[in-house]
Structure 1
Amino acid sequence: MSEHYQHLILTRSETVTTITLNRPHVHNALDRAMSDELNRAVREVRDDRDCRILVLRGAGDTFCSGDDVAEFGTWTPEDPYWQVRKYQETVQIIEDLTPITIAAVDGACTGGGLELTLVCDFVIATDRTRWGMPEIDWDITPGWGGTSRLARAVGTRKAKEWNLTGALFAADKAERHGLVNRICAPDDLDTEVAALTDVMLAKHPTTVRRTKFIMNKGADLPISGALAFEVPIQPFALEAAGIRDFTDRKARATRRELSQHFWQNS
């Protein structure tokens, strides 16, 4: 699959697809070419009905340092508008994907890199990652959700702090503020991603899809609307394949064995 891309590596192993940002010589900074390819790649994942897990990561020892500011000098006055629209379209596609999305983060996760993680279902980061929104020191503003999704994720106070100061912070702070699910050593990143993948693949795919959908859409509603949204989903869930697995003790036992103590050691 990756032969169609120059700046990404897109691979698939059974039901798991991995997109690797592949410009390690510039810390996987997002220029127009790679941004266009990322948009195309996530559309490919969206249309792949067999994909159940998408892993998003960066080549080398960096996840993504954000926009490639070296390219800004080549932009026309109209380019920023169209690029921001493309960025926002890309992250919206990622957020709405049916597969479970996992960001495997190492090294720099700043600007557009941080914004990419905001739309993933899970974020696993190494203990050497650095996070932040440094756009203000380049006299630009975030375009992938750094002023909107970030404020919803961590609160307006913290989002203003990070956007207005441009400060960088470590993985433990990112975890404290809900940007990260799991911190590990760099050598353990692949193992942690694989363990989470195993847990998610053990679930019934229909139930996973329903749960992710109602959580994503309910997050944009007042609580009364979100609760009402759950009501019509439940009868369908009980009538579908999930109820057969609920009565299948072997399947349930396998899931519980993988799940009940998962990530409870920290």
Structure 2
Amino acid sequence: MAYEKLIFDRKGEVTTITLNRPSAHNALDKELSAELNAAVREVRADRDCRILVIRGAGDTFCAGDDVKEFNDWTPEDPYWQIELYQETVNLIEDLTPVTIAAVDGVCTGGGLELTLVCDFVIATNRTRWGMPEIDWDITPGWGGISRISRFAGRRKAKEWNMIGALFDTETAERYNLVNKICAPEDLDKEVAALSEVMLAKNPIALRRTKFALNKSADMTVHQALSLERPIDPYPPAKAGIADFQSKVGRDKRRNLSRGFWQA
């Protein structure tokens, strides 16, 4: 598919989707929202893709909805747009590939909601975060209320949504919205390092682990434990254990993983 408002770049097992409206802080208008949905579906159909990176063009990630466009919406548009947004983030959350949000600059509203469904979030120290919808007399539509409280807790979710203030990346990290903070010039390097670690893992084990982690969050502990039980002989595990015992796999994987992000 040819995209006009995003860049779809596939290199080997890593695909990058870049929101490409830098002059509008990569705000999501109808066209970009539809293209993002289509691009995510393209990734879902690609069985060779193991990593998906989502980022924004220029010095910003995504400022959320294109508010200027609201003046041209029909009475039916809010329903259909929110349905599309929710479908898109649900697709991202359930993707088989490991998803990484590479965040720089503005990350507000729908931009922040996008990061909530990614497996990892790497953000620069100059990023500004927030849920400003309250000052537009609207409410978040695709996770700013329902998902954000599961990361930061009800108290902080109320503060961010009901006041609408912006906050810095250190605050975002403190409340579980960010895995790693870096300087803007180091963002690409950090994304590449994490991708290298993920690609060194067994893809089946990684897929099963991600599935169990995502689904168990909405279960009781006893229900979630059922997801940790082996459901088949799982032959890849034999090869992995053999590699570990021979130090071949251990030297390759553990040297990449040991101490990662600990400094």
Residue 239 of structure 1 deviates from its aligned partner by 3.0
- Give RMSD over aligned pairs: 0.9
Q: Could you list the runs of 4 or more consecutive aligned residues of structure 1 that deviate by over 2 angstroms after TM superposition?
A: none
1:119 to 117, 120, 140: 117
2:138 aligns with 140
Q: Percent identity?
A: 68
Name which of structure 1's ranges 216-225 and 7-16 shifts more when overlaid on structure 2.
216-225
Alpha-carbon distance in 1 for matches of 2:42, 2:64: 22
2:261 aligns with 263
Alpha-carbon distance in 2 for matches of 1:253, 1:239: 23
2:56 to 35, 55, 58: 58
**TM-score scaled by structure 2?**
0.97
Cα contact 1:206–1:242 (8 A) shared by 2:
no
Instruction: Look up the equivalent residue of 2:168 and give its one-letter code.
Output: A
What secondary structure sits across from 1:144 in the alignment? Answer: coil
Instruction: Look up the equivalent residue of 2:87 and give its one-letter code.
Output: E
2:90 aligns with 92
Alpha-carbon distance in 2 for matches of 1:96, 1:117: 14
Residue 232 of structure 1 deviates from its aligned partner by 3.5
Residue 240 of structure 1 deviates from its aligned partner by 1.9
Alpha-carbon distance in 1 for matches of 2:59, 2:139: 26
2:186 aligns with 188
Alpha-carbon distance in 2 for matches of 1:7, 1:239: 42
Alpha-carbon distance in 2 for matches of 1:257, 1:24: 38
Alignment of 1:213-228 (within 5 A): 213-228=211-226
Q: Return 5+ residue gaps in structure 2 as ranges.
A: none
2:14 aligns with 16
Alpha-carbon distance in 2 for matches of 1:239, 1:37: 37
Instruction: Give the paired residue count.
Output: 260
Alpha-carbon distance in 1 for matches of 2:220, 2:127: 34
1:201 aligns with 199
Instruction: Look up the equivalent residue of 2:162 and give its one-letter code.
Output: L
What secondary structure sits across from 1:51 in the alignment? Answer: coil
